[in-house]
Structure 1
Amino acid sequence: GKQGEWAGLLPNTTTCCRSFSTLKDYEGEKICGLYEGEGTARFQGGNVYKGMFSEGLMHGQGTYTWADGVKYEGNFVKNLQMHHGSYTWPDGSIYDGEVKSGIRHGFGMYKCGTYPVSYIGQWVEGKRHGKGTIYYNKEGSSWYEGDFVFNVKSGWGIRCYKSGNIYEGQWERDMRHGEGRMRWLTTNQEYTGQWVNGIQHGYGTHTWYLKRIPGSQYPLRNEYVGDFVNGDRHGHGKFFFASGAMYDGQWVHNKKQGMGKLVFKNGRVYEGEFIDDHMAEYPSFQIDIMNNQDLSGIRTTSPFESIKVVDGPDSTSALGTNIEIDISTLLAIFPEENREEEIKQTEFAVLRYISELRRIYTFYSSLGYDHSLDNTFLMTKLQFWRFLKDCRFHHCNLTLADMDRILNDKTLLEEIHSPYETLLLRMFLTYLIYLSFHIYHKEFDNTSPRLFKCFCKLMVKNICPNACQIKGILFSDRQQTVYAINYIDKCWEIFRAFCRPNPVAPYEPTMKMRHFLWMLKDLRLVSKQLTATKIVNILAKDSPCVRDGEDTNLEHELVFLEFFEALLDCALLYVTDEMLKQQAEESSRSTSSFRTDEFIDPAAGPPLAQDLSSGQVSSPSGVSLAVPCPTTKTPFYFPSPPPRRLADNLESAKNEQKDKLGLWMSQIYIFFVNKFFAGYKHLEVVKETIIDNRIRHAEFLVLKKIQEAEEERCAHLTLLTEGAGVQLPGHVASMTKPLLANQSSARKHRLPSHRSGTYLSTCTLTCFRTARLAGAGTEQRELTPSRGCKPPTF
């Protein structure tokens, strides 16, 4: 928002705490000469009070009207406006809420009479302070919701502008400052990162969304990730182009400047110096990232052996210029003279099914999303796993974890099984070729073309009959998916925490079924409703290699999709009707009855509206809040008004669907939020406590050894002095005895007495020096411990 956009709209806080004038006359009841009960008091200057009195003071419910038209109606406590009340100003401004000593303090709502501005939230000493929402127009399309510090936006907040652009993040001194995200809906752009004084400054990500037709060959967006200075790309950063090309290097004021690496869409790489947005070696070469170019005159390198020549206009690939796959590792298996034929026939096979494969890619990459700003979806590993399971890849003696390892290409060990990995269409096709060979290569030994036959069999047996038929619980219902997807990030964190290193190469973190069982046991989620047998049945229902008759293989590995879907199934068994009833009672108790609709223009709609289509509650900011018992509303459209009976049937079916979805969401909420996440948090606290206790115990053992060593030293020194016949000075001897007693007492009660032990060591050293002086016939001096050796007092 702009500086001063609220300035001058609020009455001065002293208006709310005016001193009362001298009484002119009074009408009402009196007791013992004091105003008591209901009455009317008129003051000099024209002020009037009508309401309750007690012991001569305005006390209780009443209305005070000043001569200039300002009116307060509410509670009085001994002549002061207190607790709850409302102010009305002559210009139409109103305040309704909590009051302390005549000043707005607590929760309240203010509406300006001269401007279409209103505020709902917390107040401190007459100023907006704490959580609150400002509406800047009557329609409610321009607003801020978040933190205030004495009338200034500071902290975390969301600002929606009249244009529809929206910022969500940190604020300081009424400006965007800190971490935040800005979405420019008018220009289809988004920035997420650091802000300084309202400008992008620091590290961030800027994305440009492009409207495309469905099935676009460019599934990516133009995106910059790197350093910003005063709103410009400046420093080091990566620019990802929609075609798949990428620049990684230095930037100066939005231009490529300095050392950098440019990867063209065909995989060719130029690495060198850039000057004024151009390659220094080829200043006249215009970089057209979106189209294939003749790079024959450019010094480029290839990071791998491509299956086709893509460097110039003479490319003969059957797939054309827009689909590029890399099967170089597979080609190395074949004799060199057979590779060209294998490549050619494999391309023909992919080309034969390319329309079907594009449709499948689009279908699975859109799972879990309501819409896309640029009509584009990028497949994630989570969606790819669902595709593999639907097409029964895991019925071919391979687990999903095995497939991840087969397709792993120099990925960090921790990321081999990451659900967030993204796959372009060309990578999706490459993965299918690899998997087809690993699954069916034995059937086509000594035949040619081998890759072609493996891929065709995969398409005919696995993909074409089964693709796009969702079988798992996560993606089977769109509304349930949108709701459940909110829990994925936290569940991924917990999944990684319970993973253990794989005992075989590549030794990446992985989870087995027995680990899943142990996890639920540690989190105390195994119950009468959710027994170990039922958990194993959930894990084994779509895993053919888990059960062999009556035997169960708990060594089966789980990827995150299987882990998360198992948790969803567990939630439906674990949460009982009693838990649902208890949750409903708690929700009803916490619901506020404070009305806000009278302060917002009715045309703007309620400030808090329930998004029934997603089963969530949306605040004015558009931020979704998960609720225990959401409801849904599915719209029905008819070409003409239906008969009454049909309308009743449709309404009944709609309510039944709403109730089922609400019940499902309630069960998921209770299980994940109240049980699973809470149990994990408690377990982490217990682990930290155990670590602290171990550290303290180790420190205690060290102190105990020091104490024992001091005692031995003391005893040895005593024997030496007694054997030499040396008499210690009186004050030293008298001081040593109680210290020895203290050491004995500490040992008896198992208490660490390292402080007194340190003092004893110093004192015995002093005694020993004194004894040596005495035994040598040297003049004896009374030695006293320094102040630093004085025994501590407790």
Structure 2
Amino acid sequence: MSRKQPPPPLAPSLTAAIIASYKGERLSKFYHGTGTATFINGQVYAGTFWMGHMHGKGRIVWPDGIVYEGDFDYDELSGHAKYSWPDGSVYEGGVLHGLRHGLGRFSQGDVAYDGEWVDGREHGVGTKVYDATKGIAYEGDWRDGLRDGAGIMRYGKKLVYKGSWIRDMKTGRGCMQWLDRAETYDGGWLEDHQHGFGVHTWKVGKLKNREHRYEGEFANGVRDGYGVFYYASGARYEGHWEDNVKHGLGLFFFEDGTIYEGQFDNDHMVDANDNKPKNAELAPTMILYVDDLVKGTEKEKARGVKAAQNAVLRANTDLRLVYRHYATRAGASAVLTSGPPTSDNHLDLMEMRELWRFSAECRLHNVTMGKLDRYLLVIRNAQNKAVKKLRIQREKKRRHVHPRSIDAIETPREKWTDVHDPDRVILYREFCEILVRLAWDDALERGEVDMTVADAFTCLYEDKIHDHASARIEPMEALSLEVLDAPLQAIFRKYRDTLEPIFAKYARLDSDVAQQPENDIHISVRSFVLLLREFGAMGTMSVSALLALVRKPSEDDESDDDELDPFVLEADLIYPEFLEALTKVARAVMGVPSVPLPVTVAQYIHATFLRDKAPQYLRRNSFTRRQSSLVLGPVQE
């Protein structure tokens, strides 16, 4: 149906000037109805006319063999039509003023585009297949015939890019995956090159089962600027890069915990000997920075630390198996049967979310996700104190050093924007030190004030970690593990924009909010109870029953569920623990055995927070985008 006002009838004198012959229906002296017209330039039109104008349905063939078949709007090629070219190219879809416009599909040999068009060019959203046999295709935004906006480019079956484009080039934020070699780059791009901040992970070794990881700055496709490199061996480098190699000032943390700070030249340490301890051949193969846990004189502290290191080394083979088991994301059902690590069968890199799962499966009581995150921060800061000692030693080697220059040396600090980042890497040595600190805190909570740090670790290892797969998992603990799995994580991502502002709002209500670091957002159980009450989300559940769900059970928990525990009310929940608590409440309030838990949780969230119950403040999302990554895993397609 034409949107134009009908034009005046086309005068016969004008049609005679452009049409050589006509066969068909007429109305008086005008071409009107169905007919065929041959133009003086050789093109032929067959279709309907209206008072001398081509209008309605028709087919036009040009002398060069191009064919248009479809709608005509008072002599204009507009509407829905099909173009055919002599080389076999075909377009079918919307047309405006003779140009492809609107939705349409164009194919030319192996190339095909299906999507939106504007003025004859790909513009809007569409999919272009460059080679169907090889699987080369782009799906996403277009502008003026070029890839521009958000899109996915598949370079065959082995290479995929998902992210931002500007004028046909990868520019902005994007993720490239080399599927055949388990390599990923996620970060900034500029004109088809990695540029800006990014995270690059790839496999190394003969079996390609060891992982390197770089987090830092790129320029023109190579590491350039400041960055952190995590080696598959368990070592870590923090410092400057130039043209893909370590160059300039940097810190190198060896696998055993030894530290080098100084200049690098073309990937090499300028003077590694300055950082080697005396009698290096007698040094342990793993250094733990746990001096703060040991009391006594300097000699007693040294003996206590060495004893703790030896205790860890005695369990080294088993601990490496455990680390690798979780680092490779084997999941709860995997069995540790792959044998001891070798040079070719070593380690992937554990991330914080795997440490959370490890804690749950080993039934480490009184250990929250937030506590584990803060352990790593303590460990990194302890390493940084050792860096300060190195700096002081280096200054003292200089002649005529002024005491004030020693006092001016600062301890480097971790600059984490989010303490609870589930993607944060935990190296094997750091994993071991977390266990030592966890064991010591557990011993103190049990009143074992006379126990050594080494004995505390051995006790924890033998009771909880060694052969932990044989431990019986309680139903509530099994639910905690299910929260970490993909189906429930998909539900949390779906409702992220609803849940995150609620969490942020009630986190600000806690009395200790002024003391909360900006990068350590959490909510107290007291505020969680208030949240559920204000939203009417507890059903018939009592507060004591709610606390029984949320409370982390202790080893010898004989408390009466009917008694309110004030210490539970003041416990804190980070965002993933908040989601876990919601899941437990959802099952208690709405759970039906025949209904899958993810369905129950989705129904509970929708019924509680999305039925005109959300206060006005929740319409403004004050939660940072970085915090949104606390849903435990990346989005899976």
TM-score, structure 2 normalization? 0.69
- Give, in angstroms, the shift of residue 141 of structure 1: 1.1
Asked whether the 8 Å contact 2:24–2:31 carries over to 1, the reply is: no
Query: What pairs with 1:355-504 in structure 2 (closer than 5 Å)?
Result: 355=318, 358-359=321-322, 362-363=325-326, 366=329, 377-394=348-365, 409=378, 410=381, 415-441=418-444, 445=448, 451-452=454-455, 455-456=458-459, 459-460=462-463, 464=468, 465-466=470-471, 471-472=478-479, 475=482, 478-480=485-487, 483-484=490-491, 486=493, 495-496=503-504, 498-500=506-508, 503=512
2:526 partner SS: helix
Residue 668 in structure 1 maps to residue 636 in structure 2: no
Residue-by-residue CA offset, 1:507-560 (whole Å, 9 max, x unaligned): 5543122323444577xx546xx6373898566325267974154754442233
Query: What pairs with 1:9-28 in structure 2 (closer than 5 Å)?
Result: 22=19, 24-28=21-25
Residue-by-residue CA offset, 1:116-145 (whole Å, 9 max, x unaligned): 111112111111222222211132611222
Whole-Å Cα distance in 1 between the matches of residues 271 and 436 of structure 2?
A: 39
- Give, in angstroms, the shift of residue 224 of structure 1: 5.3
- Give, in angstroms, the shift of residue 301 of structure 1: 6.6
- Given residue 425 of structure 1, which amino acid in structure 2 is its aligned partner? Y
- In structure 2, relative to structure 1, the CA distance for the partners of 1:255 and 1:145 (3 Å cut) is same
- In structure 2, relative to structure 1, the CA distance for the partners of 1:493 and 1:183 (3 Å cut) is farther
Whole-Å Cα distance in 2 between the matches of residues 222 and 232 of structure 1?
A: 14
- In structure 2, relative to structure 1, the CA distance for the partners of 1:91 and 1:367 (3 Å cut) is same
- In structure 2, relative to structure 1, the CA distance for the partners of 1:276 and 1:388 (3 Å cut) is closer
Partner residue of 1:94 out of 90, 110, 123: 90
**In structure 1, what is the equivalent of residue 270 of structure 2?**
280
Q: What is the RMSD of the two structures over their aligned residues, measured on CA atoms? A: 4.8
Asked whether the 8 Å contact 1:385–1:400 carries over to 2, the reply is: yes
Asked whether the 8 Å contact 1:72–1:85 carries over to 2, the reply is: yes
**In structure 2, what is the equivalent of residue 104 of structure 1?**
100
Whole-Å Cα distance in 1 between the matches of residues 320 and 141 of structure 2?
A: 49
Residue-by-residue CA offset, 1:665-695 (whole Å, 9 max, x unaligned): 696399479956998896355699xxxxxxx
**In structure 2, what is the equivalent of residue 299 of structure 1?**
274
Asked whether the 8 Å contact 1:105–1:122 carries over to 2, the reply is: yes
- In structure 2, relative to structure 1, the CA distance for the partners of 1:519 and 1:242 (3 Å cut) is same
**In structure 2, what is the equivalent of residue 774 of structure 1?**
none
Aligned residues: 546
**In structure 2, what is the equivalent of residue 560 of structure 1?**
575
Whole-Å Cα distance in 2 between the matches of residues 369 and 520 of structure 1?
A: 31
Query: What pairs with 1:742-781 in structure 2 (closer than 5 Å)?
Result: none
Residue 231 in structure 1 maps to residue 221 in structure 2: yes
Partner residue of 2:292 out of 306, 329, 332: 329
Partner residue of 2:280 out of 300, 305, 312: 312
**Identity in percent:** 28
Whole-Å Cα distance in 2 between the matches of residues 478 and 334 of structure 1?
A: 48
**In structure 1, what is the equivalent of residue 631 of structure 2?**
none
- In structure 2, relative to structure 1, the CA distance for the partners of 1:575 and 1:36 (3 Å cut) is farther
Whole-Å Cα distance in 2 between the matches of residues 672 and 178 of structure 1?
A: 34
Asked whether the 8 Å contact 2:128–2:138 carries over to 1, the reply is: yes
Asked whether the 8 Å contact 2:293–2:453 carries over to 1, the reply is: no
Whole-Å Cα distance in 1 between the matches of residues 503 and 524 of structure 2?
A: 11
Unaligned stretches of 5+ in structure 2?
1-16, 335-344, 382-413, 554-558, 623-637
**In structure 2, what is the equivalent of residue 615 of structure 1?**
none
Asked whether the 8 Å contact 1:432–1:455 carries over to 2, the reply is: no
1:91 partner SS: coil
- Give, in angstroms, the shift of residue 100 of structure 1: 1.2
- Give, in angstroms, the shift of residue 87 of structure 1: 1.1
- Give, in angstroms, the shift of residue 85 of structure 1: 1.4
- Rg (Cα) greater in structure: 1
Residue-by-residue CA offset, 1:196-224 (whole Å, 9 max, x unaligned): 3333344444443325769x7x6x51425
Whole-Å Cα distance in 1 between the matches of residues 511 and 42 of structure 2?
A: 86
Whole-Å Cα distance in 1 between the matches of residues 484 and 459 of structure 2?
A: 31
- Give, in angstroms, the shift of residue 86 of structure 1: 1.2
Residue 139 in structure 1 maps to residue 133 in structure 2: yes
Asked whether the 8 Å contact 2:125–2:140 carries over to 1, the reply is: yes
Whole-Å Cα distance in 2 between the matches of residues 116 and 570 of structure 1?
A: 55
2:132 partner SS: coil
Partner residue of 2:67 out of 52, 71, 77: 71
Higher strand share: 2
Q: Comparing both chains, which one has the higher relative contact order based on Cα–Cα distances under 8 Å and sequence gaps of 6 or more? A: 2
Asked whether the 8 Å contact 1:168–1:181 carries over to 2, the reply is: yes
Query: What pairs with 1:707-718 in structure 2 (closer than 5 Å)?
Result: none
Query: What pairs with 1:196-211 in structure 2 (closer than 5 Å)?
Result: 196-210=190-204
Asked whether the 8 Å contact 1:380–1:420 carries over to 2, the reply is: yes
Asked whether the 8 Å contact 1:381–1:422 carries over to 2, the reply is: yes
1:668 partner SS: helix
- In structure 2, relative to structure 1, the CA distance for the partners of 1:78 and 1:57 (3 Å cut) is same
TM-score, structure 1 normalization? 0.57
- Given residue 541 of structure 2, which amino acid in structure 1 is its aligned partner? T
Unaligned stretches of 5+ in structure 1?
1-19, 283-297, 303-308, 578-658, 689-794
Asked whether the 8 Å contact 1:369–1:482 carries over to 2, the reply is: no
Asked whether the 8 Å contact 1:407–1:434 carries over to 2, the reply is: no
**In structure 2, what is the equivalent of residue 263 of structure 1?**
253
Asked whether the 8 Å contact 1:367–1:383 carries over to 2, the reply is: no
Whole-Å Cα distance in 1 between the matches of residues 241 and 511 of structure 2?
A: 42
